[in-house]
Amino acid sequence: MDLNLIISTCLFTLLSIFQGISGTTFTLTNACDCTVWPAILGNSHLDSTGFELPSGESRSFQAPPSWSGRFWGRTGCTSDQTTGQFVCQTGDCGSTQIECNGKGAIPPATLAEFTVGGSGTQDFYDVSLVDGYNLPMMVEPRGGSGTCLSTGCTNDLNRACPVELRVGPGDACKSACEAFGTPQFCCSGAYATSVSCKPSVYSEMFKAVCPKSYSYAFDDATSTFTCTGADYTITFCPSSTR
């Protein structure tokens, strides 16, 4: 066997082993023109579960192997001067603090979801609009092997949001499930399988604006992506939406 090929193979193996031991680095970047308060929910805590990220700034987190969880952005956040409670216009987690402390996003919120494989196995990731939309978001893998495509929603869905799904003057866009609560929109009850639950006129609209994102519960085929041994950059308000 060619010596260079042997060296390259050994280096790749070592890098894969190191990645499996050290875990995955997630970098959150705020490219919006305003402050965003990212939030994190996972099967184990990272360095923070919620924090302030001013426009133009980034913050990185090291996740252990086999970590799974989600990231989202909160907007319009303030602390009440009387009670001291922390609340957000969109994406609030209901903890009343800047840290979410194990609480998930209150819809509507754009979600970046990950299952990190570790030890040289595949990561699975997606950007989901199943719980609605509040911010444009892009996920970009770095340094991995495999298909490793970027995914997300770079368009401003709030501008195209139907009146019946709209939150406020255009702060966010609800899912049809949240807006109407019926089994056919929520893929629940008699509609809880991929055979019975089909895209609705609303999920098809989400898909048309954001073709790589999950638009409803069984939208796996065009919305789930894989990569091995990568780090990931999650950008709020990617450049095309600014």
Q: Could you check whether the bond before residue 108 is cis, i.e. omega within 30 degrees of 0?
A: yes
Q: Are 185 and 201 in contact (CB under 8 A)?
A: no
Radius of gyration of the chain (CA): 19
User: How confident is the chain (242 residues) per 10-residue block, as mean pLDDT?
Assistant: 42 40 88 97 95 98 95 96 92 97 97 89 96 98 95 94 95 97 96 95 96 94 94 90 40
How many CB atoms within 10 Å of residue 16?
16
Burial class from Cβ neighbours inside 10 Å (0-12, 13-18, 19+) for residue 199 reads middle
How much of the chain is helix, strand and coil, in % rounded to 5? 20, 30, 50
* DSSP-derived pairing of the beta strands 231-236 and 24-30: parallel
* pLDDT attached to residue 22: 63
Q: Which fold has domain 3-241?
A: Thaumatin (2.60.110)
Enumerate the β-bridge partners of residue 123. Answer: 227
Distance CA 230, CA 83 (A): 43
Question: How many angstroms separate the Cα of 94 from the Cα of each of 33, 77, 97, 102, 107?
Answer: 25, 12, 8, 10, 11
The structure's pTM equals 0.88
Q: Report the SS3 class of residue 22.
A: helix
Q: Could you give the angle at the alpha carbon of 158 between the alpha carbons of 157 and 162, nearest 5°?
A: 95
Distance CA 143, CA 129 (A): 27
Tokens of 38: 């990212």
Q: Report the SS3 class of residue 112.
A: strand
* pLDDT attached to residue 8: 39
How many CB atoms within 10 Å of residue 89?
15
Distance CA 174, CA 90 (A): 11
